Amino acid sequence: MTDKPTEKKTAKNGFQLHGLSRVSVSNVNKFREAPDAWACHYLGGAKFSVGWAAIQGFAVEAGVEYGVFNGVETKECVERTIDQLKTRGTLLKNYPEEIEKRLPIVTRMVENALEQLMPLGRPEQPAAGDRQHSVGIDIRFADGDNGKIPLIGYLDFWYPQHNLVVDLKTTSKAPSKWSLSHGIQAAVYQRAVQSMTGEKPSVKFLYCLTRQKDPWLWLEMEDPDYYLASFKRTVKQMEALLRLSSDSRDIIQALPHNPDSFYWFGDEEISAQFYG
């Protein structure tokens, strides 16, 4: 009697150990900037609160999307933005004061964004039911079939007629150059669209600002190699950390906790839950 051949088992990588089936640019950027908040969120299941800045950004994006995809008047887009801001901010602190403060800000941002985007024509409409186009590539962190993980990203505005991708940013400060996080996002999206279409697109970020002079800023990704290398290095580090233990609590407790990071603002209870 002969022995049955044993099946060759492939050791799980760090992502598989913790049930993480994919990554995103924001996911990886958060790991690099605030690994404690990242671990509590993605490994510990913590539900972090959403603040006024995030709601303001969503509201502006909703109004601008409505305008560029449907070709409607700016006034309607501003009204849509204000409605989103008021509805989503209902349960947050200082509601009356924040609404009063942010109404002129979102109005100006929407007006500035539409002034820049409308001349480009209408972008490609996302699939029915979707707000954005999804794109994906595999990120390799090690050799072999088990050494890569899918990345999913979402494009704000894709103009195939111009071979152009535009991402809208609603920060109040004007950057003088690409930040690492935004540079990575632009470079990864460029590579993802290139893998999908076979052509390397131009990727531009439109920063809608509230200053009177030059109320917008365009940045164009020209040399993505540095940002792609940085992104891949962080994914490798993420997987190496996750591989150290299959127990999420071990990972969370091993990371330094920085309660002064903006990621923890308003979430002191989560901080106390995981770090005492």
CB neighbourhood size of 211 (10 A): 13
Q: List, for residues 159-211, the tens digit of each pLDDT value.
A: 999 999 999 999 878 888 999 999 999 999 999 999 999 999 999 999 998 77
pLDDT of residue 109 exceeding 90: yes
CB neighbourhood size of 104 (10 A): 10
pLDDT band at 4 (very low <50, low <70, confident <90, very high): low
pLDDT, residue 209, reads: 84
Structure tokens of 184?
Answer: 């990575």
Q: List, for residues 14-61, the tens digit of each pLDDT value.
A: 999 999 999 999 999 999 999 999 999 999 999 999 999 999 999 999
What distance in Å separates the CA atoms of residue 272 and residue 95, rounded to the nearest whole number? 26
Overall pTM > 0.85? yes
The residue among 29, 31, 53, 51 whose CA lies nearest residue 42 is 31
What one-character-per-residue DSSP string does 188-236 give? HHHHHHHHHHSS--EEEEEEE---SSS-EEEEEE---HHHHHHHHHHHH
Q: List, for residues 59-72, the tens digit of each pLDDT value.
A: 999 999 999 999 99
